[in-house]
């Protein structure tokens, strides 16, 4: 029995999954230092979407969702598409 799919094996070989783990570990350990960046990114997204069609929005490279204003997006768009090569299982619904 195979524990990982071929795509999971490829992502591990590319070290993509370990990179994502590294991001969340740095955030956990240094989150206070990331807050300004995350807030600036959220503000940029909010300001960029104010004049856009409010039906659908796609976020490419959504990862851990750390820098996304999800409440705002949920309130302002009918459908939100979160796209990433590999979504951490902790954020999957």
Instruction: Give pLDDT, residue 87.
Output: 79
Residue located via tokens 């796209």: 83
Instruction: Give pLDDT, residue 4.
Output: 53
Domain that holds residue 73: 6-91
Residue located via tokens 């954020």: 91
Express each pLDDT in 59-71 by its tens digit.
998 989 999 999 9
25 belongs to a structural domain: yes
- Write out residues in the chain with pLDDT < 70, as ranges: 1-16, 93
Instruction: Give pLDDT, residue 48.
Output: 92
With contact defined as beta carbons under 8 Å apart, do 44 and 67 qualify?
no
1 belongs to a structural domain: no
Instruction: Give pLDDT, residue 2.
Output: 47
- Number of folded domains that form the chain: 1
79 belongs to a structural domain: yes
77 belongs to a structural domain: yes
Instruction: Give pLDDT, residue 26.
Output: 87
Residue 64 to residues 6, 24, 51, Cα–Cα distance (Å): 23, 7, 26
pTM of the model: 0.75
């Amino acid at each position: 029995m195979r524990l990982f799919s071929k795509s999971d094996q490829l992502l591990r070989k590319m070290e993509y999954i370990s990179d994502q783990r590294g991001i969340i570990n740095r955030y956990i350990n240094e989150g206070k230092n990331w807050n300004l960046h995350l807030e600036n990114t959220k503000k940029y997204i909010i300001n960029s979407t104010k004049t856009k069609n409010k039906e659908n929005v796609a976020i490419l490279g959504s990862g851990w969702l750390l820098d996304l204003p999800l409440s705002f997006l949920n309130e302002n768009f009918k459908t939100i598409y979160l796209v990433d090569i590999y979504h951490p299982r902790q954020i999957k619904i």
